[in-house]
Amino acid sequence: MYLFKLLTLFVLYNACLAKEEDVLDLGDSDFDSRIAEHETALIMFYAPWCGHCKRLKPEYAKAAEDLIRNDPPVALVKVDCTEAGKETCNKNGVSGYPTLKIYRNGEFSQDYNGPRDASGIVKYMKSQVGPSSKELKTSECLEKFLAAEKEAAVVGFFETDSDLKSAFLKAADRLREKVRFAHTTNKDLIEKHGISHGLVGHRKPDNRQEFQNPLFIAFYDVDYVKNPKGTNYWRNRILKVAKGFSGRANFAISAKDEFQHELNEYGVEFVKGDKPVVVARDAKNQKFVLKDEFSIEALELFVNDVLDGNLEPYLKSEPIPESQNDPVIVAVAKNFDEVVINNGKDTLIEFYAPWCGHCKKLAPIFDELGEKMKGEDVAIVKMDATANDVPVPYDVRGFPTLLLGS
């Protein structure tokens, strides 16, 4: 019996030794070089006299035995902060024992906040290996990723490998426990989906520039704080239509009260009732308004007609002047082609705003120029760019804007 107990103790002792050997013991002299050899490593910074460290060490050793054989492997490392690893511990801001940190490819990634028993460490660290951001190569992969879980997800679109992509992947490493990440450099995916907000994104004043044409926007009482059920009621109906146009058009919902000025640009003074008002811009940035009452069928027909070029675009315009007796010709959206593009003359046009101080100072000078150019083969034209749509490709970003063409 005594011999049996002795042999059992010997086997257990050797097993413990074997497990301890699976934990890398590093110090100041070799920490940086050895850690850089491992894709993923868990570091235990400890003090030999620490009671919590003594209780953790056998669990840590058991976990190391499993994780070193994992595919891909995870290295478990220990650093003695009282002897050979003092400087390393200081660099890592170790102020208590044990402190556990996760490193990736030789760099600190995040603090370890998982369990401290062997099976818990193994399970937690297995979830930490492999890519923290899933690479997406097809539209099907993107749609499957977005629909896979209800949790938050972030998708990065990158035209090439870049510093921005590297920063994105590092952020994914740090936040992989809280958020799902994916990325792509596939040009077709980038062109098809642009910046991803899902099939029907929530378009707000601070992200409105991220939605690309052709774009269909539904304006109604969008409020995910006070009325999430009502918000999703209409969004789900728009979603049914959007699924049929994936890759051909983009869709969004916006709060009508936040975009009243934009609605005015489509001739919509206010949104009556609960149903959405839908407007659109095609690939040429021309504007369209759904005139029929909102329904899934009406929206689907509207989208088809806009994409197929079957509708007259909406044009914001002042009335065409009854006469043009002043020295400067007045252009409005409805007569722009006639008085600017197809007038057969070299044309100087001023795009102005009535409230613009610089425009007011320029007005008498422009009138004088118009007077002096009477009878010449030159047209002097002005247009209120706040009351009329400026046609493509004229680029007006400030007032006054003067352009010369022939």
Annotated catalytic residues are 50, 53, 356, 359
- The single-letter code of the amino acid at 302 is F
Token look-up 């590297």 returns: 166
CA angle 207, 217, 387 (to 5 degrees): 85
Beta strands in 165-282 (DSSP E): 180-184, 200-202, 215-220, 250-255, 277-281
Q: Six-digit token pair at 181?
A: 């990440």
Closest Cα partner for 199 from 230, 235, 234, 227? 235
Q: Nearest 10 degrees: CA dihedral of 14, 18, 23, 29?
A: 80
- Do residues 155 and 147 touch, judged by C-beta distance below 8 A? no
Closest Cα partner for 276 from 300, 292, 264? 292
Strand-pair category, 99-104 with 107-111: antiparallel
- The single-letter code of the amino acid at 281 is R
282 three-state secondary structure: coil
For residue 144, count other CB atoms closer than 10 A to its CB.
11
For residue 290, count other CB atoms closer than 10 A to its CB.
23
C-alpha span between 237 and 222 (Å, rounded): 14
C-alpha span between 260 and 269 (Å, rounded): 8
Provide the 8-state DSSP code for 170: H
Strand-pair category, 40-46 with 99-104: antiparallel
- Do residues 152 and 179 touch, judged by C-beta distance below 8 A? yes
